[in-house]
Amino acid sequence: MASSFIRTPRQYEQDCHILHSYFSGNVGAISNKEVVGIFVNRDSNALKLIRQTYSHWYGQDLLQFVSNVQRNNSFARIAYLRMVEPYERDAQLMRHSLFGGSLNLNTLIEVACTRPSSELLQIKHCYQTQYKSDLEKDLTMKINGGFKEILVAVLRSCRNYGSKVDMSLAMCDAKTLYEALESGKNIDQRTIISVLSRRNNGQVRAILSSYKQLYGHELSKSVKRSKCGQFGKELQVVIRCIQHPEKFFAKQLRMKNADGREILIRTVVTRSRIDIKGINKAFATKTGSSLENLVVREFGSSKNKNNDIVVGILVGLIKGG
């Protein structure tokens, strides 16, 4: 749990001393528990002040330092993800998923469908500033099929991020989606895309709740049928992710991927204090084991001191919720 009291400049200096000793190789002067505590117990504002203090005392950008070594260092990756601004982190994830080699559709869906619309707007602005490119246009260029239209619609919807959830409108939209799915020989893709592009993520969740209330089953089940085709399968993935993000993350963690450690680290760090407890519960329901056990299996077998710290931070973030 993040520290609730106000920390003094002296306490930030102490945190910086611990980190400087660790990164300088003077590990005998500190304990694993001290390093773990910084990345488990400090909130984002505290970590920002630690960065500023570290730069003042040691003349080095701590975030840039861990960024340079994060590729093959799990602890540095965790430290980077904890300290970087969330919208900057997500803009980088989107860029790498599009242009980092093979297309990483799961990460694109993760960011677009699990972040609040207000954050999506920040991500788009940061992407434009950092890469001098438009995120929606890059998605359109790199993705084919229904996912292209669906994800671009979700990104466009963030323009309405300030709107409060309107349950009457949600009921109307639920009926519109039902007609789009049920009334014709084929589903009305244009209407579905139109609704997704005009309603922010919070409103979409209200629509999905209203749909189940009206028709007795979730919308994702309606798009399973053969007449929905490939578009229906792709829509189902996105809808489920928006409606039940904890199940989406739990499924990603169960899959055997070459980048399994990255997915585990990213999920725990980015969803701590949001819905990591729900993800842990969904994961346990399907596997009979906990995320804490998964962390220990992935990182606990090595005697590397880095891995002891990695386990401590990740388990601490999971337990802290």
- Considering only CA atoms, which of 215, 208, 105, 117 is closest in space to residue 157? 117
100 φ, ψ to 5°? -90, 15
Quick one: pLDDT band at residue 1, thresholds 50, 70, 90?
very low
Q: What is the pLDDT of residues 160-214, one digit of tens each?
A: 777 789 999 999 999 999 999 988 788 899 999 999 999 999 999 999 999 999 9
What is the structure's pLDDT at 164?
87
- Considering only CA atoms, which of 269, 277, 283 is closest in space to residue 321? 277
Alpha carbons 94 and 7: distance in angstroms, whole number = 34
4 φ, ψ to 5°? -95, -15
Give the residue with greater pLDDT, 266 vs 186: 266
Mean pLDDT rounded to a whole number for the chain: 92
45-49, 206-210, 235-239, 305-309: segment of lowest average pLDDT = 305-309
Query: How many CB atoms neighbour CB 31 within 10 A?
Result: 11
Q: What is the pLDDT of residues 97-146, one digit of tens each?
A: 999 989 999 999 999 999 999 999 999 999 999 999 999 999 999 999 89
